[in-house]
Chain A
Amino acid sequence: MTLLTVENLTVAFPGRHGTVNAIEDVSLSISPGEILGMVGESGAGKSMTGAAIIGLIEPPGRIAAGEIRLEGQRIDTLRPDEMCRIRGRRIGAIFQDPLTSLNPVLTVGEQLIETIQTHLKLPKDEARARAIDWLRRVGIPAPEARIDTYPHQYSGGMRQRVVIALALCAEPRLVIADEPTTALDVSVQAQIIALLRKLARETGVAVILVTHDMGVIAETADRVAVMYAGRIVEVGSVAEVLTAPRHPYTRGLMASIPRIGARPDVLPQIEGAMPRPHARPAGCAFAPRCPVRIDICSQTRPDLTGHATRSVACHLSKEVPA
């Protein structure tokens, strides 16, 4: 059963050069307990996809086409107050900077208890017990003693754990984690990754994990969606996409990542840069940089074809076996 489906989603912004599509024709789905990674260069549209799902696109941006369903219910057409109730209760969010997600003048406990009470309608003492339990689950030592202290009294890694507890304590079905480990050290990052995976396994929460770090994707996600210039160009299981990428962009990307072990003289690199939204070429947006492009590529845009476990948007990959 799928928890969330996004179909042909386009988000448009009016701008100097006319309306531009920040993301175009994005389709994806995610099941309970699944971790879906989203990777791509900065500006590819990862955060915008997440923002559309939680209903936080900043005006004048708007959903210009497509639909989003959560457990069968259409959520892209809800009124702001209805969406506000879904946010927090059924969809949680974790952002990159733990300090901006926490209120510095409230204790960690006050923030957790308020969230739990708002969404789960529990009496104060039960909410407090749950808050302590969440702190323990995310690995805060001595949570009974820590709960009444302020965010600045926690280290960076601990604050990010609190943010995770805050996103999960209302027991949402889906969590959107946008670069949740980018600001953290590798050793702390490893703990957060392990934590997200454990919680997905234990509570059945589904996670959309946005990051540009392929290592994090490899160690955390079940499936991965690769975005380029506002579109998903490849989706598949982590093992398949990372070890046998099919889209020429994904291939170039994987090859360009330095590895521990191999020490080539020159790293393979993709020449050029990703086009800005108003300057995307007709046809395949990757064509100007693609080493294997053919004539049709600069005329016709390739569709994402295949199925949820493996699809690719490339004229050369039409023969992906079903």
Chain B
Amino acid sequence: MSDPILTVTGLKKTFDLSQPFLTRLTQGGGRKYVHAVDGVDFTIPRGTTLSLVGESGCGKSTVAKLLMGLTQPSAGSIRFDGHELAGTRAGQPPAVRRRMQMIFQDPYASLNPRWRVARIIGEPMKSFGTHPDPVARRKEVDRLLEFVGLSAADGEKFPHEFSGGQRQRISIARAISTKPEFLVCDEPTSALDVSVQAQILNLMRELQRELGLTYLFISHDLAVVNYISDQIGVMYLGLLVELAPADRIFAAPQHPYTRLLLDTVPDITMAHRDMDRPAGEVPNPITPPTGCHFHPRCPLANDRCRSEAPAFRTRGDSHVRCHAVEEGRTDPMPLRKAG
């Protein structure tokens, strides 16, 4: 892996959910913490895509917010092209933050409804000072609108005049307006219909090819992730449990949780597959299970798993956090039986 643009090491974020001190004193009850992100390491080479997948609440969006400086890490390092960003806030320092932008899941909530589209797209260029001259800025907005498949005249309209897919194009135009090199995309197509999703995914791939962008991509749809990613990181309760090249994850998943995820994706080629096998529920992140967090749902769990947390072990360009994989106790599980 050459030329990393982003390296994350030991990244942690703990939220304090405790009642105020006095309430705890009068009503009892201790401090409560959620380890939303509990020590995550990854590297993204320039011009490639790393995707994070995992069940709701496992910490994907928290990683995204930490990278963007929207929330501050409890520990760890975020190095972006040689600059340490842990501890700095969104927009700071401008010369570095200009090069990182974010696209959100809900393309409506993230666009100011009272601003015309041209102003929405031009705002980052103004605040980062890349296009201080209004006339030049407007010209650039028109170019961006056409670049993402809208028309220059659309700049005069308001967000509510657009469909979901068109609004996501506007978000993308805004995100690329400061010529960033790195985009964090948190579920950018989850609110869209499949036919619109294809249009947006194609646009994102095209932008990556033309502008050399690097993506951190978050999605719960494994087929989407398969299409867009070079590397895939599987998260479970604040930890990466497997990180590997995309084709490897799908062809030879190692971690039992990765296998469970792949096994339960509804699939258009798998009519009436027998899924009556219980998959278990996501445990409470405030009191995660001891040892390996996944042990209550894991078919391979043993006493060691219940007491000792597995380490994130590296083998070639794959990383897995599992005792059974380390001990060679996993049988090469066949991916889905055809139904």
Contacts and interface: CB of A to CB of B under 8 A. Distances in A.
A212 B170 CA distance: 23
Given A218-B269, A259-B268, A269-B202, A186 B261 contact: yes
Contacts of A186: 55, 220, 222, 261, 264-266
Nearest to B53: A186
B272 A219 contact: yes
Nearest to A219: B266
Interface string B263-307: 011111111111110111110000000000000000000000000
B272 A265 contact: no
Contacts of A261: 226, 250
B164 interface: yes
30 contacts: A156-B56, A158-B281, A185-B282, A186-B222, A186-B264, A186-B266, A188-B279, A191-B279, A193-B275, A194-B274, A194-B276, A212-B194, A215-B266, A215-B267, A218-B269, A218-B271, A219-B270, A219-B272, A219-B275, A242-B268, A242-B271, A254-B268, A257-B268, A258-B226, A258-B227, A260-B223, A260-B265, A264-B227, A269-B202, A270-B198
A190 B270 contact: no
Contact of A238 (B266, B271, B275, B278): B271
A261 B262 CA distance: 12
Contacts of A62: none
Contacts of A187: 55, 260-261, 264, 279-280, 282
B196 interface: yes
Contacts, number: 133
B280 to A, nearest CB: 7
The listed residue with most A CB atoms (<10 A of its CB), out of B55, B268, B272, is B268
A139 B272 contact: no
Interface residues of A, number: 48
A41 B163 CA distance: 12
Interface in B203-217: 205
A1 interface: no
Interface in B244-261: 246-247, 250, 260-261
Interface string A184-217: 0111111101100110000000000000111111
Given A258-B201, A261-B250, 15 more contacts: A42-B193, A155-B281, A158-B281, A187-B55, A191-B279, A212-B193, A213-B266, A254-B268, A256-B195, A260-B223, A260-B226, A260-B265, A263-B226, A263-B246, A273-B196
A267 interface: yes
A157 interface: yes
A110 to B, nearest CB: 24
B92 interface: no
Contacts of B205: 265-266
A198 B275 contact: no
Given A258-B223, A260-B222, A41 B195 contact: yes
Interface residues of B, number: 47
B272 A253 contact: no
B194 A253 contact: yes
A294 interface: no
Interface in B46-85: 55-56
A277 interface: no
Contact of B269 (A198, A213, A259): A259
Interface in A31-55: 41-42
A191 B278 contact: yes
Nearest to A273: B163
B197 interface: yes
Contacts of B261: 186-187
Contacts of A157: 281
B224 A258 contact: yes
Nearest to A256: B198
Interface string A79-115: 0000000000000000000000000000000000000
B151 interface: no
Nearest to A188: B281
Nearest to A158: B281
A216 B223 CA distance: 13
A267 B198 contact: yes
A251 to B, nearest CB: 11
A238 to B, nearest CB: 6
A213 B189 CA distance: 13
A42 B195 CA distance: 11
B195 A252 contact: yes
A75 to B, nearest CB: 31
A214 B271 CA distance: 11
A256 B165 CA distance: 14
A191 B199 CA distance: 31
Nearest to A242: B268
Interface string B215-235: 000001111101100000000
Contacts of B198: 256-258, 267-270
Contacts of B223: 257-260
A279 interface: no
Contacts of A273: 163, 165-166, 196
By Cβ-Cβ distance, the 3 closest A-B pairs, closest first, are: A215-B266, A256-B198, A190-B264
A218 B282 contact: no
Contacts of B280: 187
Contacts of A320: none
A239 interface: yes
A269 B268 contact: no
Contacts of A268: 198
A189 B271 CA distance: 15
A198 B278 CA distance: 13
A190 B266 contact: yes
Nearest to A214: B268
Interface string A212-230: 1111111110000000000
A190 B272 CA distance: 11
A190 B282 contact: no
A248 to B, nearest CB: 12
